[in-house]
Chains A and B, each alone.
Chain A
Amino acid sequence: MLGKFLTPKVRQKKTLLSVAKAELPPDGALVYREARVALMRQGESVYALNLVCTHLGCTVNVTSTGLICPCHGSSFDREGKVLHGPADRPLERYQVEVVGDCYQVLV
């Protein structure tokens, strides 16, 4: 019983989505509003932003210049850093892995 108590279930990372490399345009973004995630590419770096606003959890809109929350007007730059509030923390990032010729977003 003690052994059972001391060995907790550790959550395995799940693949949220899998995107072919060719689909992601250079310096562009792919937005998945239902999954609340955006896959962004800037030069060589590829990253996934969690679109849940760090203020009160609305889904932020991705525009050509940055990300803007429709609820209280928080805005973030393309990297997810806060430009102005009320949000006070940058958008969360998900881990992105390259598998074959696909990008996989892990949650």
Chain B
Amino acid sequence: MITDFAKHLFPRVVLGKNLKISYTLCLGGLAFTCLLLLAASGLLLLFYYQPTPVAAFPSILFLESSVWGGRYLRSLHRLTSHFFLVLIVLHTLRVVLTGAYRRPRELNWLLGCALLMLAVFEGYTGYLLPMDQLALWATQTGMELVQIMPLGDLLRSVLVPDGVGQPMSLLRFYVLHILIVPGSLLLLCFLHFYRIRKNKGVLPYL
């Protein structure tokens, strides 16, 4: 099954027009590259980050001051996360402007929307992790916003059971940030790409 899957990763023939870069600007592809870069740099950050309120910020100071390439790696992770979101939004804009959300690609449009929201959530959970003032108050703001949503109280008590910046909530944000959200992002990405393949490329007229 796996060899079959690998065999069919790329179509046997590709329309030349499908490969024209000026149509998609490869924004989605660039965003996915950012995701891979984030995964790689994040994996290395895991070696030094400590997800407890007392140790989190010192562990980052240690990473930046005493680890070879530590500051570079953290900056890379942070900058890439910004680019990731910008590229996804631009990609969404391109999809809207070219009408690529229309039949037969409605499912892929929905998948894309889910990916956009997951990406924002991934950024939000990552924001708390350094535990500096910006992180704490930005997360506090987000949680106040969540509370006025329908089911907001439930969501809030799941995300921050003991208040923003307390041990349990930091741990939850950590697990969401490194495991659950990136995992779902990757899974949905592959579904997204599978649907492109099923829809015979990206051109508006099949």
Contact = CB atoms under 8 A, between A and B. Distances in A.
Interface of A: 1, 4-11
A1 B44 CA distance: 12
Contact of B69 (A4, A10, A11): A4
B193 to A, nearest CB: 29
A6 B67 CA distance: 8
Interface centre among A4, A5, A6, A7 (most CB of B within 10 A): A5
A5 B69 contact: yes
A4 B67 CA distance: 8
Contacts of B68: 4-5, 7-8
A5 B73 contact: yes
A5 B67 contact: yes
B39 to A, nearest CB: 16
Contacts of A7: 68
B69 A8 contact: no
Nearest to A9: B66
Contacts of A11: 66
Contacts of A5: 44, 47, 67-70, 73
